[in-house]
Amino acid sequence: MFKRLVDIGTPVTFDFEGRPLTAQAGDSLASALLANGVLDFRQAPEDGTVRGPHCMIGNCFECLVEVEGLGTRQACRERVRDGLKVRRHSGRPVPGEQP
Amino acid sequence: MTEPVIVIGAGPGGLAAATTLARAGAPVRLLDEQPAAGGQLYRASERIGGDATSPLKGWLGPDYGAGLPLIRAAQAEANIDWRFDTAVWDIRCDDDGIALGLLSGESVFQDRAAHVVLATGAQERPAPFPGWTLPGVLGIGAAQTLFKDAGLAPEPDVVLAGSGPLLYLFAIQLLNAGITPQAILETAPKNIAPSILPALFRAALRHGSSLVKGLAWRRRIDGSSVPHLYGITDLKAAGDGRVETVSFRHGGREHTLKTSLLLVHDGVMPNTHLTVAARCDHQWNDQQQYWHPTVDAVGRTSQAGLWLVGDGAGILGAEAAVLQGRTAGRALAADLGLTPPDAGTDAADRKALDDLRVLRAFLDRQYPPSPVFGAIADDTIVCRCEAVTAGEIRGLARRGCMGPNQARAFTRAGMGPCMGRQCGNSVGRLMAEELGQPVDQVGHYSARPPIKPVTLAQLASLAGKER
Ligand SMILES: Cc1cc2nc3c(=O)[nH]c(=O)nc-3n(C[C@H](O)[C@@H](O)[C@H](O)COP(=O)(O)OP(=O)(O)OC[C@H]3O[C@@H](n4cnc5c(N)ncnc54)[C@H](O)[C@@H]3O)c2cc1C
Ligand code: FES
């Protein structure tokens, strides 16, 4: 797992699966979740296995989460904000498309 | 001249190209999907370099420190119009120039220029092995990204596996931060094979300082308490919903380690989604097993007006990206009828670039793509998005499937959200191997826009909008 060695910003509270979690301003959603010990971000529709961030630079799409009920977002390319509601993603994301 | 040159990517290559063009008097629009300049190597340079109290600068080392002056030099140019948080999702070359589809926040818009410089860099080479889709298995570059961006570091039970300069560099950065990884499992052999010695001697003559640095890294790692094994094979990750154990063979025996985090690395390869979408000519680098666009000595692609600098043109490293950016910037300025800045250093830049090519020829031979990740077992997933295994791809090839694009239609491999960024390289190699043909004959996936996720609602809002 990961631990925070250096602070990058002021505390931010967001909601993951109904639980309040604390991150720091400047965190991506992926780093915010990893800093809280969350590794599994989504369930792959094809084989039902759980997946989590793999590349951290927007390439692998394994970090997909649901943000504010709006559908699929890449957690490594999205910034965390106070009060943001985030859930694990499950189901089939359409290529090149955020349903 | 008033029409801006568009530079895509604010890493070392793009920063150098933009600065050179701006100094020549060309207006430049510099786009990057990230919120700040620096690209992969110099990521978060402004935050970390600008904070005298941040220990990260010291931990990351002197090479990382070279990024901030590059960024500051670009910021000093009034001719550069910076556009961060702007992703390029479409590129088309036609008789009127180059048209781009851009996405910024929730807005989608179009831009167009006669001259575009791509500096879109590289990605870690996907390294398939049993268990690589488990949460907690990340790239070494991915973990380094978290280190720079978020100050997050692996806990000491971390296992590093694979090969290449980035493996050593990150191990050193962790040691600097006081973290001693549980183990380093290198897939490369310890000794340099006799057949590689001539390349080593040539590199020593042309770029000895880098070899000395590499040796010092290795000595520091081997002098630490971290177990460092060479030539491991049969890497596997296992666990229930997340990685819990790593196993491998070494010294004729199977070993298993408990861990919560496995970081792997098998080198980097160019990002080719934009250049494939732009229908640039590409060629296969058989030694490094990757596709890269064909460019001339100063960075012109096969598409008129479209230039490419940095690791996106073939992996040469950040120092080379800067030299390529400057060289291309000067050549493009001359094409535009402007006086290129620092024309006197052009010959020196090209010589320095040649030296780096000689260094890379050695690194490429010492760290080829590892057979540990290349010999993919039939039941290992290659397409992570659609859970397609190597065996399915091999089976298709045996049944007469012609190449990656046909395999994509049959299996959906490459049709998931990552659009083949993770499986394209493996699928091409697997099919070529099975068909007994060279990879460049088998071909690669085509790329259809949008190459970044764009919603239908965003697309619908596009009508008629520019910039
Ligand atoms: C994860 C990772 C970590 C690395 N770490 C190191 C390191 O520590 N040391 C080292 O020597 N080398 C490292 N490298 C190698 C790296 O390629 C460097 O050699 C160097 O960063 C290359 O510079 P560049 O200018 O070619 O591209 P980059 O620095 O990669 O910059 C490319 C830029 O283009 C942007 N971009 C790409 N596609 C788009 C798009 N469609 N729309 C908008 N913007 C886009 C990216 O956001 C990025 O900022 C790393 C590579 C990777 C993939
Ligand atoms: S972690 Fe790979 S796309 Fe986000």
Nearest to B17 by CA among B46, B37, B40: B37
pLDDT digits (tens, 9 = 90+) for B36-91: 999 999 999 999 998 888 999 999 999 999 999 999 999 999 999 999 999 999 99
A93 within a domain of the structure (yes/no) = no
| Chain B residues near residue A72 by CB distance under 8 angstroms | 417, 453
**Interior/surface letters B257-294, b for 16+ CB within 10 angstroms, e for the rest:** eebbbbbbbbbbbbbbbbbbbbbbebebbeebbbbbbe
- What DSSP state is assigned to residue B466? B
- The helix or strand, by DSSP H or E, that contains position B90, with its residue range, turns out to be strand B86-94
Distance CA B335, CA B192 (A): 45
Structure tokens at B43: 């990521």
Inter-CA distances, B123 with B19, B94, B299, B316, B360, Å: 24, 28, 20, 13, 17
**Is the CB–ligand 1 distance for residue B123 below 6 Å?**
yes
A39 within a domain of the structure (yes/no) = yes
Helix, strand or coil for residue A62? Answer: coil
Residue B264 pairs in a beta bridge with B139, B161
Ligand 2 pocket, CB under 6 A: A 30, 53-56, 58-63, 74, 76
Residue A74 pairs in a beta bridge with A64
* Strands of the B245-250 sheet, one edge to the other: B233-238, B245-250, B253-258
| Chain A residues near residue B56 by CB distance under 8 angstroms | 6
Q: Hey, is the C-beta of A66 within 8 angstroms of any chain B C-beta?
A: no
pLDDT of residue A95: 44
Could you check whether the bond before residue B27 is cis, i.e. omega within 30 degrees of 0? Answer: no
State the DSSP string of B193-225.
Answer: PGGGHHHHHHHHHHHHHHHHHHHHHHHHHHHSS
Mean pLDDT of B358-365: 95
**Which of the ligands is closest to the CA of residue B421?**
2
> At A45, is the pLDDT very low, low, confident or very high (cuts 50, 70, 90)?
confident
Structure tokens at B36: 């700040």
φ/ψ region of A26 (left if φ > 0, alpha if ψ in -120 to 50, else beta) reads left
Q: Mutate which of B40, B292, B422 to test ligand 1's pocket (most atoms within 8 Å of Cβ)?
A: B40
Distance CA B28, CA B25 (A): 9
The answer to whether the beta carbons of residues B27 and B5 sit under 8 Å apart is yes
Distance CA A76, CA A53 (A): 8
- Compute the half-sphere exposure of residue B20: CA atoms within 13 Å on the CB side of its CA: 30
Helix, strand or coil for residue B285? Answer: strand
* Strands of the B137-139 sheet, one edge to the other: B137-139, B262-266, B159-163, B183-186, B228-229
Q: Where are the alpha helices (DSSP H) in B92-196?
A: 140-150, 165-176
Q: Mutate which of A72, A74, A89 to test ligand 2's pocket (most atoms within 8 Å of Cβ)?
A: A74
The full set of domain ranges for chain B reads 5-123+269-341, 126-266
**Which of the ligands is closest to the CA of residue A55?**
2
Nearest to B151 among A7, A94, A98 (CB): A7
Q: Hey, is the C-beta of B56 within 8 angstroms of any chain A C-beta?
A: yes
CA B151 to chain centre: 22
The answer to whether the beta carbons of residues B302 and B281 sit under 8 Å apart is yes
What is the B136 CA–ligand 2 centroid distance (Å)? 13
State the DSSP string of B323-383.
Answer: HHHHHHHHHHHHHTTPPPTTGGGHHHHHHHHHHHHHHHHHHHHHSPPPHHHHS--TTSEEE
- Could you list the residue range(s) of the whole structural domain that residue A43 is in? 12-88
Structure tokens at B95: 């008789």
A55 within a domain of the structure (yes/no) = yes
Residue type, B333: A
Q: Hey, is the C-beta of A81 within 8 angstroms of any chain B C-beta?
A: no
Place of tokens 């910037």: B329
A73 within a domain of the structure (yes/no) = yes
Distance CA B55, CA B76 (A): 27
| Chain B residues near residue A52 by CB distance under 8 angstroms | 135-136, 242
A17 within a domain of the structure (yes/no) = yes
pLDDT of residue A93: 58
> At B388, is the pLDDT very low, low, confident or very high (cuts 50, 70, 90)?
very high
**Do the domains B126-266 and B5-123+269-341 match in fold?**
yes
Structure tokens at A17: 């699966």
pLDDT of residue B461: 77
What is the A49 CA–ligand 1 centroid distance (Å)? 30
Residue type, B170: F
Place of tokens 């599994």: A40
Distance CA B357, CA B339 (A): 28
Q: Is the pLDDT of residue B280 over 70?
A: yes
Subunit contact A57:B123, Cβ cutoff 8 A:
yes
User: Which CATH number does the domain housing residue A21 bear?
Assistant: 3.10.20.440
| Architecture category of domain B5-123+269-341 in CATH | 3-Layer(bba) Sandwich (3.50)
A36 within a domain of the structure (yes/no) = yes
What is the B392 CA–ligand 1 centroid distance (Å)? 32
Q: Is the pTM of this model over 0.90?
A: yes
A2 within a domain of the structure (yes/no) = no
Q: Is the pLDDT of residue B92 over 90?
A: yes
Mean pLDDT of A40-61: 94
Residue B47 pairs in a beta bridge with none
pLDDT of residue A99: 37
Nearest to B91 by CA among B444, B448, B424: B448
pLDDT of residue A69: 82
| Architecture category of domain B126-266 in CATH | 3-Layer(bba) Sandwich (3.50)
pLDDT digits (tens, 9 = 90+) for B431-461: 999 999 999 999 999 988 888 888 877 887 7
Shortest alpha-carbon distance between residue B44 and chain A (Å): 11
Q: What is the complex's ipTM, to 2 decimals?
A: 0.95
**Is the CB–ligand 1 distance for residue B404 below 6 Å?**
no
